[in-house]
Amino acid sequence: MSEPAEKRLKMNFPMCKAHRAFVGSKAKQNFPAVVEEGLCGISTSVMEFAYRLEALAELFEQDDLPLSRVAAFFHQESTREQARAEALVQYLSERGGHYCNKVIRRPGTEQVCALLPALELMLGQWKEEMAIMVELCRLAHEHEDPHTISVVKSHFLRPLVPKIKLLGDLLTNAQRVGCTIDGTAGFGEYLIDQLYKELNSA
């Protein structure tokens, strides 16, 4: 006998464990409670991603590591992630769901001191975001919520594909020009900083 669908979720899927359903909503229709909880949890995760990217942007604005174009790229992506989080909350509201305000965790960028680990952290973040979006689609499919599947695929999942490709290319180029995890190869980081047009094209 197979396990219930709710118990087969990946361990890193950010369900909102303290979710409070909006019982009196007139807009709620064919909106499974487990999908609502998943959307609530993912919204907070994306907000945390935006906070992490903003912290990385500020790292490259410091006078000991001044890479202004790289900083602008991280600022831009932080703004886009924040907009994605707000769009998730708006979709949740439109379906008659309820968003639970939660404490945003620290960005966890204290050990990052160079461009290469910052790009690796960003790539890992986008891969994690894609994984939880895929898991949300699977969850919505199991609970017969095709509308959520369509919205997540078109507005949140597909835009991540070119971003991950871009980050993979940037990491490869950063390694080729000699960037290191401790920032000792400063010229390589300077060369990457000059690729602002490529960074800004995502």
Structural domain boundaries in the chain:
33-199
Distance between CA 45 and CA 158 in Å, rounded?
18
Question: How confident is residue 114, by pLDDT bands cut at 50, 70 and 90?
Answer: confident
Question: How confident is residue 171, by pLDDT bands cut at 50, 70 and 90?
Answer: confident
**Contacting residues for 21 by C-beta, under 8 A, at least 6 apart:** 33, 36, 97, 98
CATH class of 33-199: mainly alpha
Q: In the chain, where does DSSP find H-type helix?
A: 33-59, 68-94, 115-142, 146-152, 160-176, 186-193, 196-199
Binding residues for Fe cation: 81
Spatial CA neighbour of 167 closest among 200, 109, 119: 119
Binding residues: 81
Q: What percent of the chain has pLDDT over 90?
A: 40
CB 137 within 8 A of CB 157: yes
**In this structure, what token pair is assigned to residue 147?**
């509308």
pTM over 0.85: no
Does residue 76 have a pLDDT over 80?
yes
Does residue 157 have a pLDDT over 50?
yes
pLDDT, tens digit, for every residue of 144-156?
999 999 999 999 9
